[in-house]
Amino acid sequence: MDALSHLVGGFAVALQPLNLGLAFVGVLVGQLVGVLPGIGPINAIAILIPLIFATGLSPESALILLAGIYYGSQYGGSISAILLNVPGEASAVVTAIDGHAMTRAGRGGPALAIAAIASFVGGTLSVFGLVLLAPLLAEWAIGFGPAEYFALMVFAFSALSTLSGGSVARGLASTALGLWLATVGLDPHSAVPRYTFGQIQLLDGMDFVVVTIGLFAVSEVLQLLEEGGAGDAAALAYGRVRISLKDLRDSMAAMLRSAGLGFLVGVLPGAGSTIAAFLAYSTEKRVAGLSGRFGQGDIRGVAAPESANNAAATGAMIPMLTLGVPGSGTTAVMLGALLGLGVTPGPLLIEQEPDLFWGLAASMYVGNVFLLLLNLPLVGVFIRALSLPRWFLMPGVTALAFVSVYAVNGSAFDLALMTLFGVVGYAMRKLGFPLAPVVLGLVLGPLMEKNLRRALALSGGEWRVLFDSPIAIALWVLALASLAAPVAIRRITDLKASDAATDATSS
């Protein structure tokens, strides 16, 4: 009953006119961001952070807006995936398999309708998971000491480094870059400058907004300019966006299973909505067996990943809010915004900032209702937005990025630094290095250093303190497992491929 009474208080926060308007704006912007390939929620949130600081929004109002962009983008990514076979989000790659096949078969309307309904089901059910599980996880995490927090952050780094794409070595290199950037500035204990290279502007450290907008938004613009093209025409005959009772009945079990799976995957640090969508799709394909037509336009192939990726977006909020560990690259950016607003996520957040947590939970339910109402009647508008030429879109994104960064400190040095990180981000993309671990290292690096120093100070410099408790040992084991799993999976796959090639040759 406590959770229910707190949730009622959360609705009182979420239904305030300002917060209600911010939730609507957030999900609308998120849906547009999801529809337009290449922008992504990280870029949108990073660009909006300086505006949030400038307008003086309260932490709960700011988080409602940013969270709306995050889960709203999961809705929007399905539209371009289904109609154009161009996923607006990485998590919509799986949706495109059967969604676009349905479009080619003249069933684009039902595919869009089931995507909207599945997104609503996954997002709504996961809100109840957030309400029930986050307080329990926070109570469990109160027993964490400095050594446990240090091990938890190592696990978060290893998970995001290995699951964010590319090789393990590249992921770890990106994490190391983020941790190095976190050390720039004055040493917190001795006040000795570190890696400032004589620049007074770096004494306060690397500005989170400057680094994030440079790495993501500016590098995205550079990459799109290299690719060229003027966008794809999207005047498609998708038909009426509606669904039959039979299609809904056939998809309901897949939506419910995928919502639960997606939520659990989202809670894991580093997993995110893309992995949730792939797991949900493969699970439903196995459940369907020979009766399924996955890959040829099976409606369950649209319902499963759409339900899972929206549930995962909500699940990723739990480790961010209760442990201070982001569950994805986007929540890493949101964590940086919360720290900038003076809010420190952790086990005591729910108790110390009840309006923020319960208001967010209630707003996510309201936002999912908004998205369901928006997604069906505004499909035509979003499709026309897909046809915007890049020569029009990219200068606007670039101008917004420069204005946002300059608005933070009014510093031309920040603009130059942002441009530098844009070039670095572009080079990392070309070389296959993931960007999300850099942000995670920059955000969690200071907290990691502080907990390591505190643990060693309490133990008199004895390193064994980092491995003394059962919780710390379990986290170290998980960190090693997350590093070893991709290598083991790759070797098993290679062995199977070589065995198959040998069998084919011998036959």
Give the tens place of pLDDT for each residue, 342-398.
Answer: 888 877 787 788 888 888 888 888 888 888 787 767 666 666 655 566 667 677 777
* DSSP-derived secondary structure for 82-123: HHHS--SSGGGHHHHHHHHHHHHTT-HHHHHHHHHHHHHHHH
427: pLDDT strictly greater than 90: yes
Confidence of residue 243 (pLDDT cuts 50, 70, 90): confident
Highest-scoring range by mean pLDDT, 51-55, 85-89, 113-117, 212-216: 113-117
Highest-scoring range by mean pLDDT, 44-53, 137-146, 270-279: 44-53
Q: Are 456 and 195 in contact (CB under 8 A)?
A: no
Range name among 86-100, 193-207, 305-319 with the lowest pLDDT average:
86-100
Kindly report the average pLDDT of the chain as a whole number. 78
Report pLDDT for 424.
Answer: 93
Q: Are 417 and 214 in contact (CB under 8 A)?
A: yes
Report pLDDT for 426.
Answer: 92
Output the CA torsion 328→329→333→338 (10° steps): 10
Confidence of residue 500 (pLDDT cuts 50, 70, 90): low
Q: Which residue has the tokens 């949130």?
A: 45
CA–CA gap between residue 166 and residue 279 (Å, rounded) = 18
Report pLDDT for 269.
Answer: 61
Report pLDDT for 217.
Answer: 75
Range name among 147-151, 280-284, 407-411, 419-423 with the lowest pLDDT average:
407-411
Neighbours of 221 (CB within 10 A): 22
182: pLDDT strictly greater than 80: yes
Report pLDDT for 180.
Answer: 92
Confidence of residue 421 (pLDDT cuts 50, 70, 90): very high
336-358, pLDDT tens digit by residue?
888 888 888 877 787 788 888 88
When pLDDT is averaged across residues 61-81 and rounded to a whole number, the result is 81
Q: Which residue has the tokens 């130059």?
A: 416
Burial of 376 (0-12, 13-18, 19+ CB in 10 A): middle
285-325, pLDDT tens digit by residue?
778 776 667 777 788 888 888 888 888 888 878 888 887 77
Higher pLDDT, 345 or 327: 345
Question: What values do phi and psi take at 298, rounded to 5?
Answer: -75, 125
420: pLDDT strictly greater than 90: yes
Question: What values do phi and psi take at 194, rounded to 5?
Answer: -125, 125
457-481, pLDDT tens digit by residue?
888 888 888 888 888 888 898 888 8
**Could you tell me the residue range of the domain that residue 112 belongs to?**
2-506
Contacts 24+ apart (CB under 8 A), 131-136: 131/3, 131/7, 131/361, 132/3, 133/267, 133/318, 134/317, 134/318, 134/321, 134/322, 134/350, 134/357, 134/361, 135/3, 135/350
The sign of the torsion formed by the CA atoms of 16, 17, 21, 24 equals: positive
Higher pLDDT, 213 or 363: 363
CA–CA gap between residue 98 and residue 96 (Å, rounded) = 6
When pLDDT is averaged across residues 144-172 and rounded to a whole number, the result is 75
497: pLDDT strictly greater than 80: no
Higher pLDDT, 48 or 413: 413
When pLDDT is averaged across residues 190-199 and rounded to a whole number, the result is 84
Indicate the SS3 state at residue 327: coil
Alpha carbon 327 to its chain centroid, in Å, reads 7
Buried b (16+ CB within 10 A) or exposed e, 224-254: beeeeeebeebeeebeebebeeebbeebeeb
CA–CA gap between residue 23 and residue 417 (Å, rounded) = 32
Number of structural domains the chain divides into: 1
Tokens of 120: 């609503």
Report pLDDT for 423.
Answer: 93
Range name among 155-169, 194-208, 366-380 with the lowest pLDDT average:
155-169
CA dist list (Å): 149 to 152, 317, 319 = 5, 18, 12
Report pLDDT for 228.
Answer: 63
